[in-house]
Amino acid sequence: MLRYQLDDLDLDAFARDWLDGLESDDASMRSLVVDKPDMGPYFMMANIAPRAVKPSASTEELALFAVLSAFQDAVHSGVRAREPWRGTAHHLDSAFRYAKEMGRAGVAASLLQSVVGRGRDERGLSERLTARSLGNDLAKIAAHEQDMAQIVDRDIRAARLLDPSQSIDALLLGDADER
């Protein structure tokens, strides 16, 4: 049986309890995974990402989010071939295997690269589409931007937890040096 651990960070008890909670009818978006199994990864993120975005998120919540996020970014970005959905336990096992290959520093780097990438992608067209979808309502746009800032903060806090030596500044300065 795979142990849910990332280097010296033991998440086993927390991850198993969380995984058990996914089987309950109270799990967020449960019908999504029942009706469309390919949406399983989104179902799993819907049950950890909102918990990790809270400023009071525990070490375990942030770390589990980081493991799933790094794995799913790799799978969906084409770094790895997309796996067929084989259930929540298999997906979590795969995510931890991937995270163990990368180590804490690799998972942290993945999160920070994702933040930098989103920052670049959210300029121009994306901002206009968001504004249009919100009826160009300034209050709704501001609320959306605040939600997005909390998401970025979650990713940075999770990365800092895993490897405090890495930073967005270093990534951005490294990109500037390469130009």
For the stretch 94-125, pLDDT in tens is 999 999 999 999 999 999 998 887 766 555 55
pTM (2 d.p.):
0.84
Confidence of residue 67 (pLDDT cuts 50, 70, 90): very high
Q: What percent of the chain has pLDDT over 90?
A: 50
Question: Measured between alpha carbons, how far is residue 38 from residues 21, 160, 164 in Å?
Answer: 19, 31, 35
- For residue 164, pLDDT over 50 is answered with yes
pLDDT on residue 178: 52
Q: Which contacts qualify for 8-12: CB closer than 8 Å, 24 or more apart?
A: 9/59, 9/63, 9/104, 9/162, 11/60, 11/63, 11/64, 11/67
